[in-house]
Amino acid sequence: MFHSQRSIGHQRQSFIKLGFGLSSLLLSNCFSISLIPSQSHVSRYFLAVLSLFFPCGSKSRLGSRKMQSDDQFIAASIGDTEWLQQSVYKGTVKYDKNGLTALHLAAMHGHLACMKLLVEKYGFNVDLTAENGCTPLQAAANNENENCALDCVYYLLDKGANPSLNSNEGTTALHQAASQGHLTILKLLLDSGAKVDCRDNNGHIPLDLAQMWGHERCGRILRAVMWHNDKDFLLGEVCDGLVVEATSEEEYFWVLLVRLCLCLLVC
């Protein structure tokens, strides 16, 4: 999808030359037209040339808006911030044919500058969900974006993204990182409070996916976190039970002493 969108973007950029040629030819033959050349805003310029052949009715305006909407998806995918600024309006979120927004596409392809632009200037929510429930955080943690993924994930988490939100398939960003073996991202998500026991629609927790795909280092970290969580839970249950059973100050003192010993043993 990424390569096809990039090629489409190059094709649109090449239309500028055709636009200049057609406009010069038509102007030399006394056609009345007002065109403002712009190297980055290809779609609007080319539509202006085409408008000579097709009346500027409602369908033409709809076509222009549709093409401008497509522009933001291509610009976000290839990391063109100038083009992106000319294609996005504040407070308006559009979805492409795959149900993704410009923020998802920028995160998926590791274009941090585009992500910052969409979040900080145009008000995109860092937990914005695609039509399939995928979050930008999940989109960022993928193999295609391996070299830039960490920066994108860190930025989203720093902006308050929830690491435990799940998609329509029940997967979280931790599932994504575990299944693709992104060790550093997995650690970052865990440090940000990502839940290790979330199950997807197939009943798999992140540890299951790490084991299924042979990512042993991710599996060891997830097992350690799960053991630590279970240990703290069991310790709390035992000690709380002892406190309830204490009937005097002396018994309560010995309960606290036992609790301290247990903490020292399991830590």
Q: For 176-201, write each residue's pLDDT tens digit.
A: 999 999 999 999 999 999 999 999 99
Share of the chain above pLDDT 90, in %: 55
Share of the chain above pLDDT 70, in %: 60
pTM of the model: 0.67
Average the pLDDT over 59-64 and give the result.
42
**What integer pLDDT is reported at residue 206 of this predicted model?**
97
> How many beta carbons lie within 10 A of that of residue 122, not counting itself?
18
**What integer pLDDT is reported at residue 67 of this predicted model?**
58
Distance CA 73, CA 88 (A): 10
The whole-chain average pLDDT of the chain stands at 76
258 or 202: which carries more pLDDT confidence?
A: 202
**What integer pLDDT is reported at residue 142 of this predicted model?**
86
- The residues, any chain, with a CB within 8 Å of residue 201's CB and separated by 6 or more, are 169, 170
The answer to whether the beta carbons of residues 261 and 238 sit under 8 Å apart is no
Asked whether the predicted pLDDT for residue 237 surpasses 80, the reply is no
Q: Where are the domains of the chain?
A: 69-235
Distance CA 4, CA 74 (A): 10
The three-point CA angle 131-132-134 to 5° equals 100
61 band by pLDDT with thresholds 50, 70 and 90: very low
**What integer pLDDT is reported at residue 252 of this predicted model?**
55
Average the pLDDT over 81-86 and give the result.
96
Distance CA 121, CA 124 (A): 8
Distance CA 121, CA 81 (A): 12
24 band by pLDDT with thresholds 50, 70 and 90: very low
Average the pLDDT over 135-157 and give the result.
92
What topology is assigned to 69-235 in CATH?
Answer: 1.25.40
Asked whether the predicted pLDDT for residue 99 surpasses 70, the reply is yes
